[in-house]
């Protein structure tokens, strides 16, 4: 993880239910250990920042993917995967905050992890940058607002949205940076209300997608 308020959330619950051993590492201060699966969370920095720890993390992800390792990233975590594989992360042109709809591509509908959740799904956003260009080997799985929203690259998945978020996490993000919503067509109250109305879908879709991803990793 990259910030205390952007931990694994519901991903941790799925890991516990599947009895998968894991370790939470603060990538800004700790070395990322060797692992069968890397899971990268969101954060308060840009993937294009020049922090030494960020360069080390990108190098670790790149090496992990080179030998076919499994990886799963949300928001900043997805952008880290995108940059590690040679893609570009740039300003999205619009700040997506709150509930939006993502539409699965044909590849997403037939994808081994995304299949079965439907063609259009609600997603929870909190970001201003996105993976605007991906290498040819990457497959875009979902789009929305003219932006890439999810992709697969080998054994790795990148999700621009936060299905892992809990209501506590959403409240913490608002409290930590209330100015983040300035210029965005929503309010803190609407963000939380929309989250309440859609969190059931977030959780069920996360269980399907993340659960299938873990099953593939564990049986490979």
Domains of the chain: 4-214 (3.40.50.880)
User: Is the per-residue pLDDT at 55 higher than 90?
Assistant: yes
> 0.85 cut: is pTM over it?
yes
Contact 41, 74 (CB under 8 A): yes
Q: Write out pLDDT tens, residues 118-135.
A: 999 999 999 999 999 999
pLDDT of residue 196: 97
**How confident is the model over 158-213, as pLDDT tens digits?**
999 999 999 999 999 999 998 899 889 999 999 999 999 999 999 999 999 999 99
Distance of CA 113 to the CA centre of its chain: 14
Residues 158, 167: Cα–Cα separation, whole Å: 22
Give, in order, the Cα–Cα distances in Å from 111 to each of 22, 37, 92, 114. 26, 19, 25, 5
Q: What is the mean pLDDT of the chain?
A: 96
In this structure, what are the phi and psi dihedrals at residue 144, rounded to the nearest 5 degrees? 180, 140
Amino acid 93: pLDDT: 85
């Amino acid at each position: 993880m990259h910030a205390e308020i952007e931990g694994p959330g519901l991903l941790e619950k799925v890991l516990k239910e599947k009895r998968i051993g894991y370790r939470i590492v603060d990538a800004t201060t700790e070395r990322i250990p060797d692992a069968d699966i890397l899971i990268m969370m969101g954060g308060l920095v840009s993937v294009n920042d020049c922090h030494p720890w960020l360069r080390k993390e990108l190098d670790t992800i790149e090496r992990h993917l080179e030998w076919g390792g499994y990886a799963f990233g949300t928001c900043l975590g997805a952008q880290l995967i995108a940059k590690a594989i040679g893609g570009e992360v740039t300003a999205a042109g619009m700040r997506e905050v709150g509930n939006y709809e993502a539409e699965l591509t044909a590849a997403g509908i037939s994808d081994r992890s995304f299949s079965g959740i439907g063609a259009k799904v609600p997603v929870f956003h909190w970001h201003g940058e996105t993976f605007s260009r991906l290498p040819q080997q990457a497959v875009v799985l979902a789009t929305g607002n003219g932006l890439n929203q999810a992709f697969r690259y080998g054994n790795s998945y990148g999700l621009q949205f936060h299905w892992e978020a809990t209501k506590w996490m959403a409240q913490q993000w608002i409290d930590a940076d209330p100015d983040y919503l300035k210029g965005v067509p929503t309010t803190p109250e609407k963000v939380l209300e929309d989250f309440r109305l859609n969190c059931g879908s977030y959780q069920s879709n996360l269980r399907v997608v993340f659960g299938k991803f873990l099953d593939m990793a564990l049986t490979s």
